[in-house]
Structure 1
Amino acid sequence: MRILLAPMEGLLDFRLRDNLTRVGGYDECVSEFIRVNDTLLPSHRFYRYVPELYQNSRTKSGIPVKVQLLGSDINCMAENASKVASLGAYGIDINFGCPARTVNRNRGGAALLKEPNLMYSIVKAVRNVVPKEIPVTAKMRLGYDTTEHALVCAKALEEGGAKEIVVHARTKVDGYKPPAYWEWISKITEHIKIPVVANGEIWSVTDAIRCQRISGCKDIMIGRGAVANPALALMIRSEKNQKLPWNEVKMILFAYWKNLEFDMNLTSRAGRIKQWLHYLTRQYQEAENDFKSVKRFKSGDEFTNYFESHIN
């Protein structure tokens, strides 16, 4: 079994990748998407999203990170994939799953699930320019507003040259509303020959086991579940429900808070901490009290003092 750490736009970035991979249990990470429009991006844009490129495309704990690109311009996607490969990327992942309206309105992410021929052309163009030793993968959903073309889209990615695909078991219209339709992933695994990674609604060890059984996939990707429970990957590996003690989680939160201060304004930093705490309330009752306290804070000192005074 391989466990991949998913990106989450606006929260699960390189800082949180560092924190979660330090806890352990992951085989691979995927970066937040880097939007490609109609130009070749400068190197600093890739380094900003994926500073692990400075470290052989690995987190500080040694876990490899794929760089994810999002866009619909075939030539520009290929040019930028070639560029990021030259910077030492461990792998290139292509986003065909983002459900955000702003992304979809600009013909990106899940909107391309309505154009399987374009999906094929993008993957093929990227595969043609990226060195063979660098894997090209893709992430998709079951469709835009219906699962009608799920098998066609998966086949297009395979024929385009993707080494494996991650399937989020919902359509774009489903968003993140439960349930996830893991049984549909099993149809995809039977339809294509490349490896498939199951994703969506994995919050616990029980969820992971059920997902593997229903989807037919041994490999899984977790995102929101990992944010809600930093030890989830380790728990899935051991099949034991042993969460980290809350005080240890709070120390991780404090380390994350301190990492944010180097290049993020106070409002954004506060938003990240509140967002993460909100996810943690799903698994930790103690997080409820902390969330109620910090959501009223307005200064950086309030956050710092609160963490320092509440960590045993």
Structure 2
Amino acid sequence: MRVILAPMEGLVDAPIRETLTRVGGIDRCVTEFIRVTHGTLPPRIFFKYAPELERDCATRVGTPVAVQLLGSDPGQMGLHGLKAVELGATQVDINFGCPAKTVNKHKGGCVLMREPELMYAITAAVREAVPEGIPVTAKMRLGYDDRSMGVACGQALEAAGAEEIVIHARSKVDGYKPPAYWEEIAKVREAVNSHVIANGEIWTVADYWRCREVSGCDDVMIGRGLIARPDLAARIKASQRGESIPDMTWPEAVDLVREYAEALQARLEDRFITGRIKQWMNFLRVGFAEAELLWPEARKIRDVAPMLACLDQDIPEARLKTHAA
């Protein structure tokens, strides 16, 4: 009954993986995708997206990290899968789920679900290139134009040797609009022998249990829900034990944002760090009333210190109650 942190491109980078896995409850992470085209990528690109390669491909608290590749050339994908393992990857994941227009335009991500035979060729090439014992896994949606391709694409991935298949319970056209079609994941799970992991629209502990019931999947992958509530995985694990733990407070969430900002300072200029904080805070607005109340002020701030000072300010209880009402 694992909880896996989803690879959200442009947001779930190595520093945020470190921060969230320290909170607890996350069993595995997946990197942002490494784009594979026609040239051979140098090692520095792999280490940029997966600095955990320097530490047995795990975060500092020991949470395993899979290296994700995105591309449409089977030969190049195989070569880069092998290169990832040579650099230290303990799992190679393939992205067939990204809905971004730019990615799909260049024949990457979810658009490949229009061609199950190409998904098979890509996955088979990676499986053949990667040493036995290193899992090759994949992430997909239920289809591109609609939700009719889930079973066919899942069977193609299974036939090619994918040990696990994460399924985001929407098509590309659905985007991220509710609802998630967990019942369609169940259809794929029943049609393949590969282990299927459910993904999509898990924001609360109750959502987790409902997703498991409808999809029939023991394991889930969570993206936005864990960014909005960093303690969600820990609370899910407590619920699996028949226990409950107190919800994370806003000051505790701010401490995480501060830790994240400090980690980014070694990599980025202040203006880019503030942008990353705003990205995270935009999701925190879902989980914390304080974030919603501070957002109009925070979104205008450009520098890190005043941003953190903004998040640290006391909010009168009366204002929170008014917002809740």
| TM-score normalised by length of structure 2 | 0.93
The Cα of 1:145 is off from its aligned counterpart by 1.0
- In the alignment, what sits opposite 1:6? 6
Secondary structure at the aligned position of 2:29 is classed as strand
User: For residues 30-64 of structure 1, what are the alpha-carbon distances to aligned partners after superposition, in whole Å with 9 as ceiling and x for unaligned?
Assistant: 11000000011100100000000000000011000
Secondary structure at the aligned position of 2:173 is classed as coil
Alignment of 1:36-75 (within 5 A): 36-75=36-75
CA distance in structure 1 between the aligned counterparts of 2:314 and 2:78, rounded to whole angstroms: 49
Confirm whether residue 135 of structure 1 aligns to residue 135 of structure 2. Answer: yes
- In the alignment, what sits opposite 2:321? none
CA distance in structure 1 between the aligned counterparts of 2:256 and 2:305, rounded to whole angstroms: 18
Paired-residue identity, %? 49
Query: Is contact 1:67–1:92 with CA below 8 Å preserved after alignment?
Result: yes
Query: Is contact 2:294–2:311 with CA below 8 Å preserved after alignment?
Result: no
CA distance in structure 1 between the aligned counterparts of 2:18 and 2:124, rounded to whole angstroms: 32
- In the alignment, what sits opposite 1:111? 111
CA distance in structure 2 between the aligned counterparts of 1:155 and 1:172, rounded to whole angstroms: 19
Query: Is contact 1:110–1:172 with CA below 8 Å preserved after alignment?
Result: yes
Q: Which stretch shows the higher mean deviation, 211-220 or 266-275?
A: 266-275
Moved over 3 A (4+): 304-311
CA distance in structure 2 between the aligned counterparts of 1:77 and 1:229, rounded to whole angstroms: 34
- In the alignment, what sits opposite 1:23? 23
- In the alignment, what sits opposite 2:276? 272
Aligned AA for 1:115?
E
- In the alignment, what sits opposite 2:35? 35
Confirm whether residue 233 of structure 1 aligns to residue 260 of structure 2. Answer: no
- In the alignment, what sits opposite 2:173? 173
Q: Which stretch shows the higher mean deviation, 231-240 or 105-114?
A: 231-240
Query: Is contact 2:254–2:312 with CA below 8 Å preserved after alignment?
Result: no
CA distance in structure 1 between the aligned counterparts of 2:142 and 2:251, rounded to whole angstroms: 39
Confirm whether residue 261 of structure 1 aligns to residue 265 of structure 2. Answer: yes
Unmatched segments (≥5 aa) in structure 1: none
Query: Is contact 1:145–1:172 with CA below 8 Å preserved after alignment?
Result: yes
- In the alignment, what sits opposite 2:159? 159
Query: Is contact 1:205–1:241 with CA below 8 Å preserved after alignment?
Result: no
Secondary structure at the aligned position of 2:140 is classed as strand
The Cα of 1:257 is off from its aligned counterpart by 1.2
Query: Is contact 1:254–1:307 with CA below 8 Å preserved after alignment?
Result: no
- In the alignment, what sits opposite 2:256? 252
The Cα of 1:100 is off from its aligned counterpart by 0.1
- In the alignment, what sits opposite 1:294? 298
Secondary structure at the aligned position of 2:144 is classed as coil
- In the alignment, what sits opposite 2:126? 126
CA distance in structure 2 between the aligned counterparts of 1:117 and 1:299, rounded to whole angstroms: 49
CA distance in structure 2 between the aligned counterparts of 1:168 and 1:241, rounded to whole angstroms: 28
* Superposition CA RMSD, Å: 1.4
Matched pairs, number: 311
Aligned AA for 1:168?
H
The Cα of 1:304 is off from its aligned counterpart by 4.5
The Cα of 1:307 is off from its aligned counterpart by 5.3
CA distance in structure 2 between the aligned counterparts of 1:307 and 1:281, rounded to whole angstroms: 12
CA distance in structure 2 between the aligned counterparts of 1:92 and 1:229, rounded to whole angstroms: 27
- In the alignment, what sits opposite 2:204? 204
The Cα of 1:281 is off from its aligned counterpart by 1.1
The Cα of 1:299 is off from its aligned counterpart by 2.6
